[in-house]
Structure 1
Amino acid sequence: MLKKIKLKYFFIFFIVLLFLFSLFLLKIYSSYKPKELIKKIDYSQVVYDRNGTILTAFLNKDEQWHIKSENEIPEILKEAVIFYEDKKFYKHSGIDYLRIVKSLFNNLTGGKKMGASTISMQVVKLLEPAKRTYLNKIIELAKVKKLENELSKDEILRLYLNNVPYGSNIIGYSTAIKLYFNKEVQDLSYGEASLLAILPNSPGILNLKKNNEKLLEKRNFLLKRMADKKIIDQQQLKFALFEKLPTKIHYFENKTPQFSYFIKNKYTDKNITTTLDYKLHFKIENLVRDYSNNMKQIGINNAAALVIDNKTNEVLAYVASQNYKDKKNHSEIDGLQIKRSPASLLKPFLYALSIDDGLISSESLYPDVPIYFNNFYPKNSDNKFRGMVRIEEALIKSLNIPFIKLLEDYKVDRFFYFLENIDKYGDDNFNKYGLSLILGTREMKAVDIAKLYVGLANYGKFSDLKYIVNTNINKNFSDNIESKLISSGASYLTLETLSKVVRPDNEKLYSDEKPISWKTGTSFGLRDAWAVGVSPDYTILVWLGNFSNKPISTLSGVNTAGNLLFKIFNIVELKPKSFAKPNDNLRQIEIDEKTGYRKFYDIESKFIEYPKEAKLLRISPYLKKIFVDKNNKIIDSRNENFIDAKEKIILEYPVEVANYYYENSQDVGINRNVKIAYPTNNLSITLPKDFSGYQKLSIKLYNPNKEFLYWYLDNKYIGFLNDEEKLFDLEAGQHKFTIVTADGKRDEVNFKILKK
């Protein structure tokens, strides 16, 4: 009786214990989240080109090569792995109970030891490595059930192959195929597949420096068994047995170091397919390297180039320096991502914006004469002046003074925020640049300069450059919003003007055959030489200089950078076509022939194309209506003979222009009224100091008729003089200078003297 009672309590205890253990396993099952664990796998980050070529692979945090393959698993690898590891993989629900019983029986009876782990069970171990105990093995069974319920068999198999170790620091089948066999996954052979099937069981058995008879024996045994089971035929077996084992690791080549590091730092995804076309990039990289080697003879040590597909905004070639291994010349620097002076590369955009604003047409005249803009006295790169020039000619010849004057008219802040809208640097202090902004004092990255020209090639539609083709990454990381900042008409007219830029040396011969719109720039101090060219299909940017910022006397945007630009175009686009005229965005307007502004007076005129979206073109600031008597003398309504006066349209250029023509003995029929040429009104002048003290200020007049004039300085009478220039020793502070003609006409300027 007592024995029965004890047995009863033991049975109850066993049932309770079994129930509690079942609750424990149920809790394990419910808390196990394989999909969350999968997200935490530390794969290597791999950067691919658009065609699947690996550009760079990075070690993971554990210093392992661990590539996540998302391609189709080769059928021969599937067959070998399933046959070797888990023949019933597609039949069982994650646990092979018969195999467990056999393994347990053999272990207890001292028979041949055999493993009982299925592929699913091995995946659980790979996701959460744990000490091998009987309890952990039981817990593992609950996790396997959850894994099988949440993932398909193919997903489990892919997870296994992507995370199984293959010896050394090589994880995953795709990594092993690359590093052991130096081939693509789809090119895997039966011998190689068999080797990958057996390696995870004993990854340490592969020794690349010694004989591997044991490993070869295991591989060949697997191949023969697969042939016996008709998985492979005898012919396949014969060739597979002749295959040799790998003898070295083919480490990943870092094909595009700077580009890959840029992508790695920009995106967090593990497999990143970029827009780069490595075959094209490689050709341009070699060209840039060879060209740069020649340039080193004249002190130009560094170079960079960029190629962009205008239709998609995709970066196709990204040559960040002339040779990454040229450490002597700091060529590990990414020259496309550092800020440098854009020099004259911004002029086309001021030109286009000013057309849209109604300030200019391509025919409009602008001054190219010595002008003081407050305390800023700019010069052209050739130190020459040309008087009044058509603004189109000023762009073609990249003249500084007309564009500084144009920026003054357009307003610095407006142009500054146009640039800020493109590159988004977060800078809001346009005052620190002033009018020198158009000469490149606001530094920019080469990639952002290229973005400007891609926008121009797309008829004024600006958006970010694209570096990746992965749809999910683009969605998550790119705020690539297209902005229409310049009209299609103004963009086209600007591109047409840029197509007339004279090409260097022998490239002149191909301007008609290969119509390319392009612009060059050489920064102040001879530190940067730029050339950017656009066709309807491509934008190409070239930079030459020294990363050390050492100036180079031989540097030239046209000759050094320009030549390389056209050599790259010859690789990228053998037969570029012209930009299509956007007829729906252009209209005919009438301008005066003399100065190139909207016709207002009854003078000779002509019709030109102008953007429909542009503001009304202003009338000429240089044409003026006057009244003259019968002797052609200017009179006004106070004159008793005004009733018989006749209208006359005359040219009246600004005083600095009139003075330039006068000093150069050119009579262009302009108004000859006396004016103060220098200083200009509200000018701040810093006087330099030498051994004898501060220099004197030279006051200059435009006095073509050499009239005697009354001179006043700070309201003090100086004299009745016909001088055109006079020196004054002035104190620091505000001053006023006045001249009065004999008939009472006057001109006056206020200016400030600074002494340091």
Structure 2
Amino acid sequence: MNIKSANHYKQLSINRKVILIVITLLLIGYIFCLPSQLFNVSYSTVVADRNGELLGARIASDGQWRFPPRTTTPEKVKQCLLTFEDKHFYYHWGVNPLSIGRAIYQNLKSKRIISGGSTLTMQTIRLARNESRTFGEKFIEILLATRLEFRASKEEILSMYVSHAPFGGNVVGLDAAAWRYFGHPAEDLSWAESAMLAVLPNAPSMIHLSKGRKALLDKRNRLLKALYEKNTIDQSTYELAISEPLPDEPHPLPQVAPHLVSRFYQEQNGKYLISTLDKDLQVQIENLAERWSNEFNRSDIRNLAILVIDISTNQVAAYCGNVHFGQKQTGNQVDVIQAPRSTGSILKPFLYYAMLQEGSLLPHTLLPDIPININGFTPQNFSLQFEGAVPASEALARSLNIPAVTMLQRYGVPKFHNFLRQVGLKTLNRPSSHYGLSLILGGAEATLWDVTNAYANMGRSLLKLPQTRSTLLISTEKATDEPDIFQPGAVWQTFDALTEVNRPEEIDWKSIPSMHPVAWKTGTSYGFRDAWAVGVTPRYAVGVWVGNATGEGKPGLVGARTAGPVLFEIFNLLPSSSRWFERPTGVFVEAEICRRSGHLKSRFCEEVDTMLILPAGLKTEACPYHHPVTLSADETHRIYENCANTEPTIQKSWFTLPPVWEWYYRQHHPEYSPLPPIKPGCGEDSMQPMQFIYPPMNAHIALPKQMDGSKGFITVELAHSNPNTTIFWHLDETYLTQTQDFHKISLQPSIGKHSLTAVDSEGNSVSTTFFVK
């Protein structure tokens, strides 16, 4: 080979390499020319119920009604689109040369652009790029369309197109168009509706519902005729379809569970979300809420929230965050289910449960219901009355405040605060010392969501189900493993007490076979600002809140009168459970319980019941109120040893409460018998017959001023077991006065420390110290 040939061959090899490199670069460029995310647009937030029925949506951030992309195309819509836009869609590779050639011929003949020859794949690319329509852009569309065919299936390309096609105004995509123009899902579109939506993206700015209606109708009917001529639809379907009128105007989207939809819009914007709600039940609950709200509005109570949790699935079945969402009244936009509100008495069952579980209380243990003053904290019952002593279960059922405060004082505020945090009350974000004993009476805030979830988990403990927070979205994600807080034994005893809460109907529900038990509790916050009611059955946990989102109190805003009736109407609406929770097995032991005190039987208790209690309850105190006494033969006096040998006596066991308890207890229990007096000359009474009601030991008292500016008074009071005795009063060793029957006097002590002493006619005395500031 000569030098010239060698150089020629060498040059030819270089050219081939260059060509190969160019081809390789072009191939790489072609492979990577299509963006990984074809559509870079914002989407509406769309929320459906558990069955896929639309609850509501929020517009995309660019102001378009553009639902999240579909993955399938309804068959009717598909047939209409292919017939109208791209008959050979399944036979080309993104570009149809015949359509391109025909478009070029038509445009040259008309000397203007009347056809683009675009396939559905090319139109999909054009929608994604959203660039001006030029010959250069057309070439890019052709190139990217062929590349898209390599990446996606025909069904995927069709779904991309129908999800992003313009349908007039700010309506984008098939789903938004179906709801806006016809008020139902795309899967339910008729042939006429499908045909209208198929022709609409062809010129959405020229023909739509408010302009060019005749042109739109003609295009739709021509498409329907083409479908008939190719035997896609039969004659009767064709005739029915062309007789359907066009919609008059866009439909509003559904507004079901609007507060939940708004919440998802804030938390998961631009997604299609399937919630756990049942749309039919949600609509019924919302109608019920609106009706009750209209009733409460007469008393200027403007807001109401309802949460329904399915116990077995731990899913939210209904979520009514407030009422009158569409009205711009104060507070209607607030999702009260998530808003911290004062708890009132709604937390009392948790304390009752905790003390049962710990073994520091038995279900019917007597608790004091007397005036108390704990470092200036003076709680009152709702009735402003005192009953001396009340069984714990009854105190819970009747929501008495003073026994609850006494229980919390025994249990400990820090421990209870920690327990509430464990059961899910996340709003208790301050130290326990901030709340103090008022924690049990509404001194803290909680959300209806947290409280209802905690009650639901109590029910789930009895069904032996995991105790997790309820879900709002259908998801395949597994719930995180969390330790079970509630134990079934103490929950069973707590629910047993809560089924005794008086219902709003004022009827004996137990005598009516169709009515089933409900463990429920109400709460009313200080100042009548919040009314609560939460109830649990084996199927549902329901939480109701009534009040004003602004925090404004109203005199009639009481849980039992407002939230309670709503709660039971909801339970009447829900499918009822045919059976109550089964009593847990293997968690209780039998014990002999004093019938009168609710304590473990002491050796002096004569009336005893055998009851099932938790093993921890065996460490509680034996009955301290029964003790032996020696009486005269006629039982009118007590006899001491120095007189017992001189006359006939009898031995009896006697039930005696502390003097202050006794003083109030006797007013409500006429069967109660105080101890007979000691027989004169037989010694002194070893039992203290009297006790100060007010002031308690070491109380700090601020004297209010009178209207004229003078110093105010304090009223001191004492209870005595003998109503006929005389009491002699002394302040700082200075005699004041004497009283009979009702032992109450008013004082005007000076600032500083004082000692108050009372002496009865038998010589018994009692003293207390207090401080005036």
Question: So what's the TM-score if we normalise by structure 1?
Answer: 0.84
Distance 1:506 1:732, change over 3 A: closer
Partner of 2:256: 255
Alignment-mate amino acid for residue 44 of structure 1: S
SS in 1 for 2:309: strand
Indicate yes or no: 2:566 matched with 1:560. Answer: no
Which residue in the other structure is 1:468 paired with?
Answer: 473
Amino acid across the alignment from 2:397: I
Aligned-partner Cα distance in 1 for 2:711–2:736: 27
> Which residue does 2:460 correspond to in 1?
458
1:609 corresponds to which of 608, 612, 624: 612
Name the structure 1 match of 2:674: 668
- The 1:561–1:102 alpha-carbon spacing in structure 2 relative to 1, beyond 3 Å, is closer
Distance 1:298 1:316 in 2: 30
Give the aligned partner of residue 584 of structure 2: 582
Which runs of no fewer than 5 residues in structure 1 stay unpaired?
A: 1-8, 636-640
Q: Which amino acid aligns with 1:156?
A: I
Counterparts of residues 335-734 of structure 1 (less than 5 Å): 335-421=336-422, 422-425=424-427, 427-459=429-461, 462-471=467-476, 482-505=482-505, 507-509=507-509, 512-513=512-513, 514-515=515-516, 516-573=518-575, 577-601=579-603, 603-604=605-606, 605-611=608-614, 614=616, 616-620=618-622, 622-623=624-625, 653-654=657-658, 656-657=660-661, 660=664, 667-669=673-675, 671-672=687-688, 677-690=693-706, 691-695=708-712
What corresponds to 1:4 in structure 2? none
In the TM superposition, 1:296-311 aligns within 5 A as 296-311=297-312
| Separation in structure 1 between the aligned mates of residue 222 and residue 746 of structure 2, nearest angstrom | 104
C-alpha contact 1:375 1:686 (8 A) present in aligned 2: no
Report the alpha carbon displacement of residue 366 of structure 1 after superposing the two structures with TM. 0.7
Q: Go from structure 1 to structure 2 and tell me whether the alpha carbon gap of 1:465 and 1:634 turns closer, same or farther (over 3 Å shift).
A: farther
Q: CA distance change for structure 1 residues 241 and 677 in 2, over 3 Å: closer, same or farther? A: closer
The corresponding residue for 1:244 is 245
- Alpha carbons of structure 1 residues 130 and 726: separation in structure 2 relative to 1, 3 Å: same
CA offset at residue 357 of structure 1?
A: 1.3
Deviations, residues 282-332 of structure 1 (Å, cap 9, x unaligned): 223223333333344445444333322221232222333343355456434
Shift of residue 98, structure 1, vs aligned partner = 5.0
Match of 1:294 in 2: 295
Deviation at 1:53, TM superposition (A): 2.5
Is 1:282 the counterpart of 2:288? The answer is: no
SS at structure 1 position matched to 2:543: strand
Matches of 2:151 and 2:356, distance apart in 1: 63
1:633-668 alpha-carbon deviations (Å, 9 max, x no partner) = 789xxxxx9xxxx99987675564256569999753
Amino acid at match of 2:704: P
How many Å separate the matches in 2 of 1:26 and 1:573? 63
Residue 608 of structure 1 and its aligned partner are, at CA, apart by 0.9
Q: How many residues align?
A: 729
Alpha-carbon distance between aligned partners in 2 of 1:55 and 1:215, rounded to the nearest angstrom: 30
CA change 1:104–1:19 in 2 (3 A) is farther
**Is 2:191 the partner of 1:190?**
yes
1:86 counterpart residue number: 86
SS of aligned partner of 1:144: helix
What aligned pairs does 1:113-152 form with structure 2 within 5 A after superposition?
A: 114-152=115-153
Per the alignment, do residues 113 and 700 of structure 1 end up closer, same or farther by CA in structure 2, a change over 3 Å counting? closer
Distance in 2, Cα, partners of 1:575 & 1:303: 26
CA contact 1:599–1:619 (8 Å) conserved in 2:
no
Secondary structure of the corresponding residue to residue 47 of structure 2:
strand
Structure 1 pair 747/721, CA: closer, same or farther in 2 (3 Å)? Answer: same
Q: Which amino acid aligns with 1:657?
A: W
Q: Say which SS state the counterpart of residue 433 (structure 1) adopts.
A: helix
When the two structures are superposed, what TM-score results if normalisation uses the length of structure 2? Answer: 0.82
Name the aligned partner's letter for residue 352 of structure 1.
Y
Note the alpha carbon deviations across 1:216-274, whole angstroms, 9 max, x for none: 33333333333443433444433333333333212313233223212322333511222
User: Per-residue CA shift, 1:706-734, capped at 9, x if unaligned?
Assistant: 79999795xxx657998877777666666
Deviation digits for residues 97-149 of structure 1, max 9, x if unmatched?
45445545665677896433322222222223233444444444453344333
Q: What whole-Å deviation, never above 9, does each CA across 1:346-381 have from its counterpart, x for those lacking one?
A: 222211211111122222111111122221112211
Looking at structure 2, the residues matched to 562 and 300 of structure 1 have their Cα atoms a distance apart, in angstroms, of 15
8 A contact 2:180–2:252 mirrored in 1: yes
Cα pair distance change 1:736/1:428, threshold 3 Å: farther
Once the two structures are aligned, what percentage of the paired residues are identical? 32
Match for residue 44 of structure 1?
44
1:380-435 per-residue CA deviation (whole Å, 9 max, x = no partner) reads 11121111111111122221111111111111122222223312125132222221
Shift of residue 194 of structure 1? 2.6
Q: Matched residues in 1 for 2:626 and 2:231: separation?
A: 100
Q: Give the drift of 1:72.
A: 4.3
After TM superposition, give the deviation of residue 547 of structure 1 in Å.
Answer: 3.8
* 8 Å Cα contact 2:344-2:526 kept in structure 1: yes
SS in structure 1 at match of 2:123: helix
C-alpha distance in structure 2 between counterparts of 1:115 and 1:358, whole Å: 83
Between 1:72-81 and 1:666-675, the stretch displaced more is: 666-675
Q: Which residue of 2 aligns with 1:638?
A: none
Please provide the CA RMSD for this pair: 4.2
SS of alignment partner, residue 526 of structure 1: coil
Q: 1:685 to 1:266 in 2, by over 3 A?
A: farther
The structure-2 alpha-carbon separation of the partners of 1:109 and 1:210, relative to structure 1 and needing over 3 Å to count, comes to closer
Letter of the structure 1 residue corresponding to residue 191 of structure 2: Y
Query: How far apart are residue 25 of structure 1 and its match?
Result: 6.5
Stretch of structure 1 that moved more, 307-316 or 596-605: 596-605
Which SS does the other structure have where 1:367 is aligned?
strand
Gaps spanning 5+ residues in structure 2: where?
1-10, 677-686
- 2:38/2:128 contact within 8 Å kept: yes
Supply the distance in 1 between the matched residues of 2:204 and 2:192 (Cα, whole angstroms). Answer: 17
Q: Distance in 2 between matches of 1:264 and 1:215?
A: 35
Q: Check 1:103–1:725 CA distance in 2 against 1; reply closer, same or farther (3 A cut).
A: closer
Which residue of the partner structure matches residue 6 of structure 2?
none
Residue 159 of structure 1 deviates from its aligned partner by 1.0
Aligned to 1:23: 25
Indicate the larger mover: 736-745 or 48-57: 736-745
Deviations 1:579-638, CA, capped at 9 Å, x for gaps: 2222333332222334212335453332112235x4544114734879999997789xxx
Given the superposition, is the C-alpha separation of residues 371 and 29 from structure 1 closer, same or farther in structure 2, using an over 3 Å criterion? same
Amino acid at match of 2:91: K
1:136-166 per-residue CA deviation (whole Å, 9 max, x = no partner) reads 4444445334433332221111111111111
